[in-house]
């Protein structure tokens, strides 16, 4: 195994683990699924890492891989295998699952976003992260104009709930 590549990857994960975790946190239905999704996302990042040439910002690349992993994960919900039998996260993160207040807020959030389709959920996550229209467009491979139109549509959709 290429030790230099592994070292670079570990440094990249160190710098961006919070972003990766948040995408998974937003997409997972519960804490067990969150562990699976996080592991699969990090694995996909590792597999794609040798091909990342820095043509786009590293965060754009991370979001693209993570969002695609979440889509695939949701469409194959019962068929993914885990390489690790233990969580990839630290014990401190694992303790979050036992927090009832947090769990209740998590459920409330999901009651709203679960009514959106997959593409709408992706866009909303980026908006919740205070990204510019240009950054959202770069990640989702669309135009800023389209981002505005879609956000407006989501705004109306959520108001009806």
Other C-beta atoms lying within 10 Å of the C-beta of residue 131: 18
Q: How far apart are CA 70 and CA 68, in angstroms?
A: 5
Closest contact distance (angstroms) between CB of 3 and another protein is 11
Stretch near another protein under the rule CB under 8 A, chosen from 50-58, 59-67, 107-115, 133-141 = 107-115
Residue indicated by tokens 């909303």: 124
Site membership for another protein, residue 98 (CB under 8 A) = no
Among 120, 127, 133, 142, binds another protein (CB under 8 A): 127
According to DSSP, residue 28 is labeled: -
Q: Which residue has the tokens 């505005």?
A: 148
Q: Is 69 left (phi over 0), alpha (psi -120 to 50) or beta?
A: alpha
Residues at the interface with another protein (CB under 8 A): 1, 6, 9-10, 13-14, 17-18, 21-22, 25-26, 39, 42-43, 46-47, 83-84, 86-90, 92-93, 96, 99, 102, 105-106, 108-109, 112-113, 124, 127-128, 151, 154-155, 158-159, 161
């Amino acid at each position: 195994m290429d030790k230099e590549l592994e070292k670079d990857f570990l440094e990249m994960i160190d710098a961006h683990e919070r972003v990766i975790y948040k995408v998974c946190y937003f997409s997972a239905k519960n804490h067990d699924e969150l562990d699976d999704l996080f592991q699969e996302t990090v694995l996909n990042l590792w597999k794609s890492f040798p091909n990342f040439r820095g043509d786009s910002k590293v965060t754009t690349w991370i979001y693209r891989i993570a969002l695609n992993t979440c889509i695939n994960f949701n469409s194959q919900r019962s068929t993914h295998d885990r390489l690790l039998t233990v969580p990839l996260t630290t014990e401190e993160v694992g303790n979050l699952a036992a927090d009832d207040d947090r769990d209740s807020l998590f459920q409330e959030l999901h009651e709203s976003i679960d009514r959106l389709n997959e593409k709408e959920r992706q866009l909303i996550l980026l908006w919740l992260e205070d990204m510019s229209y240009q950054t959202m467009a770069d990640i989702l491979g669309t135009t800023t104009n389209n981002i505005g139109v879609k956000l407006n549509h989501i705004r109306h959709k959520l108001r009806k709930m």
